[in-house]
Chains A and B, each alone.
Chain A
Amino acid sequence: MNLFPLYLTVKVSLVATVFTASAGLVLAWVLAKKEFFGKTVLDVLIMQPLVIPPTVLGYYLLSTFGTGSPIGRFFENVFGMQIVFTWKGAVLASIVSSLPLFVKPAKAAIEGVGNDLENAARLLGKTELYIFRTITLPIAWRGIMAGVVMAFARATGEFGATLMVAGNIPGRTQTLPIAIYDAVQSGDTYTANLLVGIITLFSFLVLYIAERFTKGRF
């Protein structure tokens, strides 16, 4: 039994979640607390992966980060890093598709921290970053953690965009969902059932934990 897809999926999801949560936190804060031109457009753009087909998303990423594109060439020349058809491509696909699932609850949680609390901290002489670290984050952390869990779950289940950007290279870019597809196509029911079992149990646990988190039972 080849466990590489499981290992790759965990690795890709963990790395993707770190990026999603970091970038997502800044975006969630900006969307929750700041007023600026084009705010709605930014909001809609972040939410796009929820509604456009994963293959379309994958196609966008492929054309943006492919070796033929300026950005792809930039990464290759400056960092010596190829993104498409490597595990990094899978990470990229996971980041973009899980971002809305993180930003939505995180934004709601940050919005829930009353402006008076932040103003009180400002009046007590604190900088914006300090206030975010000591007031906003600690009060909103449940919602933010729920977002992290959701983003991680979404990353583990990512299929369409990953297939487009990272391909299906066994032992290199074949994640769990793609391995299941492969097993079914080749009639390997045993492997398919096992992997499906693993991912089903995992998804259930993740949502269960997220639910408990938001309700404050942990």
Chain B
Amino acid sequence: MNLKLSLKKSLDGFSIDVNLSVHEELLVLFGPSGAGKSLILKMVSGIIMPDEGVVEIGNERVYDSENHIDLPVRNRRIGFLFQDYALFPHMTVYGNIAYGINHLKGPMIKEKVDELIAVMRLSGLEKRYPHELSGGQRQRCALARTLAIEPRVLLLDEPFSALDFQVREKLRADLLRIHTLYPITTILVTHDLEEAFMLGKKIAVINNGRIEQAGPREEVFYRPGTRSVAKFIGTRNIFDGTIVGLDGPLVTILNKDIGLVKAFVTEGGELQTGQDVSFCIRPEEVIIIRPDRPLDYRVHDNIIEGEITSIIGKGSTQIMFLKTGSGDTFLKIEVPNFVVRKLSLGKGRHIRVSLKKESLWVIP
């Protein structure tokens, strides 16, 4: 079932204005806290009334301010997973899941609940109350409850934020498995970059109540359309420059501090010589040039020299900051631990790195 929405709402010093359309897939709505993500879900479900707009599920308009359509929440058949799950504390797992089943009768209800209990790995917990469940079990119980009504659309509001790190990993995988099993049009809201990357084949980046960019995961992550999108998706190396040369897909940019940088662009049509642009590279895409080996032709361009000013462990990788140019430009580099060991990288070392033309992304 397709979901189309176009919503506007003004609040104190903040406004939301979004257009989105989701086609039988899982869309991750990603953005910082306070960007308006949860509010959008609440407006789609009807819990909060927008100022104006349209919400369309399949061919049915459930909300249309112009034509005064506002279908009551109970008739929208939208599954909604609350951030804190909102399980009914006085009902058992079974009772919670069965609560919303209005379309089945007698033994069919039990069949449906049993099916969901098995899928959600809740077998044996049917008679437990929510306070007797772990965080992960609670989340799965709440998800089962929303799926029990066979919703047309599923809205998940930060479904993993209340969970421990270890549980989160497992439950994310669970969610993907469940989404394959019940391929319902889904919007998942998160402020966690890793989560967005892992779960969303399509991602919409929201900031300040506006969708900054929406598209397939790879496109959003490696080709951010604006500086703020680049920032949110963890690109820390964003620099300014002026285009000094255009040659087909190859662009030459002059940065006052680093010098000339060459980059490939996929759509060079909109760029012009003399134009001010930003360019960026993800920290894990920066390649360290080994001094003991001849220079590979693939890393021939954009070679930058600098001094490592700090190095911080981050589990399986290390984050280094490289002071380059005249000393005002810092490049963030993420390398696996074994590389750090092998090249004995450390604070104060001078190294050379390459910013591959293909890895650089130019933001007009």
Residues of A that sit less than 8 Å from B by CB: 114, 116-117, 119-127, 134-135, 138-139
Q: Closest Cβ of chain A: how far from B22's Cβ, in Å?
A: 18
Closest residue of chain B to A126 (Cβ to Cβ) is: B74
Closest residue of chain A to B95 (Cβ to Cβ) is: A134
Q: Are A119 and B73 in contact (CB under 8 A)?
A: yes
If the complex has contacts A122-B74, A123-B73, A125-B100, are A114 and B90 also in contact, measured as CB distance less than 8 A?
no
Q: Are A126 and B100 in contact (CB under 8 A)?
A: yes
Q: Are A123 and B80 in contact (CB under 8 A)?
A: yes
Of B4-12, B81-89, B215-223, the one contacting chain A is B81-89
Do most interface residues of chain A lie in helix, strand or loop, or is the interface mixed?
A: helix
Q: Are B74 and A127 in contact (CB under 8 A)?
A: yes
Closest residue of chain B to A116 (Cβ to Cβ) is: B86
Do most interface residues of chain B lie in helix, strand or loop, or is the interface mixed?
A: loop
Residues of B that sit less than 8 Å from A by CB: 45, 47, 72-80, 82, 84, 86, 88-90, 99-100, 102, 145-146, 149
Could you write out 26 A-B pairs with CB less than 8 Å apart? A114-B86, A116-B86, A119-B45, A119-B73, A120-B80, A120-B86, A120-B145, A121-B88, A123-B47, A123-B74, A123-B76, A123-B100, A123-B146, A124-B74, A124-B99, A124-B146, A124-B149, A125-B77, A125-B100, A126-B74, A126-B100, A127-B74, A135-B88, A139-B88, A139-B89, A139-B90
Name the B residues within 8 Å of A123 (CB-CB): 45, 47, 73-74, 76, 78-80, 100, 146
Name the B residues within 8 Å of A127 (CB-CB): 74
A134 to B100, CA, bound (A): 12
Q: Are A122 and B73 in contact (CB under 8 A)?
A: yes
Q: Closest Cβ of chain B: how far from A143's Cβ, in Å?
A: 14
Q: Closest Cβ of chain B: how far from A124's Cβ, in Å?
A: 3
Q: Closest Cβ of chain A: how far from B329's Cβ, in Å?
A: 48
A138 to B45, CA, bound (A): 25
Residue among A114, A120, A122 with the most chain B CB within 10 A?
A120
Q: Are B90 and A124 in contact (CB under 8 A)?
A: no
Q: Are B145 and A124 in contact (CB under 8 A)?
A: yes
Name the A residues within 8 Å of B76 (CB-CB): 123
A116 to B100, CA, bound (A): 15
Name the A residues within 8 Å of B99 (CB-CB): 121, 124, 134
Closest residue of chain B to A135 (Cβ to Cβ) is: B88
A135 to B74, CA, bound (A): 15
